[in-house]
Structure 1
């Protein structure tokens, strides 16, 4: 009888453990899965920051060949990867990486598109290269997303030059850019008629945006960005707007000193949400499927610093409440909703996991 009770309790405990499991590991053995995307056959393209592109199919990882030369330094390397909304028809893959192309030492963020054939990149085209090159190792950005009209958006951080780049529309960096899908400048971009401006700029005054998605419920572009010590932000990106960095911020210098007393100012957009202390946000996805019940419509944001996923419950355009998921899983770098409606999360030194409904 005692043995029966012990066995019953043992299997009941296993059942409880199974029910509480939050995730399952889908792609193991990744170092820094900076970005990933799903191809129509449900295979995955995964960018490793150290300069590799991996095609994961049928449980096997194959390295894609004929990549561009990638400048790996500090926070820079091979960064985001995204497919065109009409990938089935045109086959275009878009990715951002740090490149040393052009004059000057160091590198800067670049947007390229290419096609995939037999695990080799072909038809490579550079659509945008930020200048000047610099050996600074911080704030490369860089997420990619598309809007409902197939414009491609991508972010570039201020590259550690906060007092020059973000507020100057004649300079790259500290911006979110918008291009037509072929790399040409949309005629209705906000600064096309400004003689000296960078015509691809869509918004400015950003520090280091490492999360960006089109909200599938409103078609707005949402982005989050790293603050300094405190002041990470979520913003809704609007045409031609100034998001304030470093004139306004909820953060302070890493040393503890202040660089501004202002958290808002006329002509500068305020965030819809901010974190103090900083969570170091990376990766972003809206839950747009029925797989997670009442979680549909929530926004997921990864935390590098505290190693969890924040489930942001929204009321309109405000974060009403946050719930921590996958606590202590590791540094969360990237988040995507798969073709199957499940949420997938890239975790440094772990791999890509599937979030299980609770």
Structure 2
């Protein structure tokens, strides 16, 4: 080999070795220790009960009750019966699980899931039920009723969204994705591609921005969304939402009353078939994301931290990354936001929650036989 080519090859090899070393070094510098605390079959969401036990939803339609031990071997895992039938397939199945703000006194839990319709159609649904626990470490859902549905039900198995949260106003908030149908996100005769605001019984608040229009439009708080898979309120009561963009252009948005976020008219990504979508700056009448990613992170699960275990992160947001196999930390300055750090987790991260002790808890997405673990992130040392 000529001397100059040999030198270049050696330099390339050294750079590759250095880069590999740096990557490995970064993994050892994670600002938390990650402890596996269990494993589930296609877990999608979780929420802590007041007594410290954990509810975990599995995509095929199971709801697990977990009494956490010191190690996974010490966990006591029970089943919650009475879960509604789910339309499993693609991105569809059992979704979110959250507690009513007054759960301790009323026992209400809220569930989201993909529901089958006629003629091979499906749509997201939200139900509420009483959670009745038994002495054997399991329990049942009773008095279950569906309080919201995506309209219309359509074909396909993608983009349900159906993340749910309660706001400081006591209202129920739902992310309703556009089911890979694009135009419903701008159609007020459909509640697809929207952020939904309801009373806790599913009725429509009179002060919603489009309440006077009636129909499903009355449910809508904001529109022009694609695949919204995370929703959380900060300490000032501001609502933040993250969504998967098309080919490029994942977004973190500040959700404001009655605003249009532009999809599919604008996006910082393009269609998967190569067709261009104009970027947000070309249409300033639409709300632009506060953070946009290209290459994408494939965001799933959103938490705004308020615990004591990681005091330096109080008020920061955490986003689970699917294709990026990461945990992304966001810092805020008022209504501005920026990615502050990205932690390599080595697996697709589906869900992020804060435990009663202030530790961070993650659910890995199970894909192709790997993942599905429950991870506890605690301070180093």
Same fold per TM (> 0.5)?
yes
1:115-138 deviation digits (Å, cap 9, x = unpaired) = 111311101011101122223111
Deviations 1:204-249 (A, max 9, x none): 100010011111x211111100001111111111111111101111
The structure 2 residue matched to 1:168, chosen from 187, 193, 204, is: 187
Q: What SS is found at the alignment partner of 1:46?
A: strand
1:115 equivalent in structure 2: 130
- Secondary structure of 1:82's aligned partner: strand
Offset, 1:32: 2.3
SS at match of 2:312: helix
| 2:45 paired residue number | 35
SS in 1 for 2:144: strand
Shift of 1:201: 1.2
In the TM superposition, what whole-angstrom CA distance separates every residue of 1:74-122 from its partner, at most 9, and x where no partner exists?
Answer: 1010001100111111111001000115x44221000100111131110
Among 208, 212, 215, the alignment partner of 1:193 is 212
Q: Does 1:22 align with 2:38?
A: no
Which residue of 302, 307, 311 maps to 1:293? 311
Change (3 A) 1:128 1:195: closer
The answer to whether the aligner puts 1:61 opposite 2:80 as a matched pair is: no
**Residue 100 (structure 1) aligned with residue 84 (structure 2):** no
In the TM superposition, what are the counterparts of 1:220-259 in structure 2 within 5 Å? Answer: 220-259=238-277
* Counterpart in the other structure of 1:14: none
Which residue matches 1:338? 355
Cα 1:196/1:62, change in 2 over 3 Å: closer
- Determine if the alignment matches structure 1 residue 134 to structure 2 residue 144: no
Distance 1:229 1:156 in 2: 20
The alignment yields a C-alpha RMSD, in angstroms, of 1.8
| SS, match of residue 34 in structure 1 | strand
Matched residue count: 337
Kept in 1: contact 2:159–2:227 (CA 8 A): yes
Are the equivalent residues in 1 in contact too, given 2:32–2:378 (CA < 8 A)? yes
Q: 1:286 to 1:21 in 2, by over 3 A?
A: closer
CA offset digits 1:175-217 (Å, max 9, x no partner) = 11010011111000111111455321111100010011111x2
How far apart, CA to CA, are the structure 1 residues paired with 2:43 and 2:291? 26
Contact 2:280 2:286 in 1 (8 A): no
CA distance in 2, matches of 1:240, 1:19: 40
TM-score normalised over the length of structure 2 = 0.84
Contact 1:151–1:178 (Cα < 8 Å) also in 2? yes
After TM superposition, what 4+ stretches of structure 1 lie above 4 angstroms from structure 2?
A: 17-21
Give the alignment of 1:260-339 within 5 angstroms.
Answer: 260=278, 262-325=280-343, 327-339=344-356
Corresponding position of 1:78: 94
Give the distance between the partners of 2:211 and 2:336, measured in 1 at CA: 32
The match for 2:3 is: none
Secondary structure of 2:211 counterpart: coil
Q: Is the 8 A contact 2:223 2:261 kept in 1?
A: yes
Distance in 2 between residues matched to 1:19 and 1:98, nearest whole Å: 36
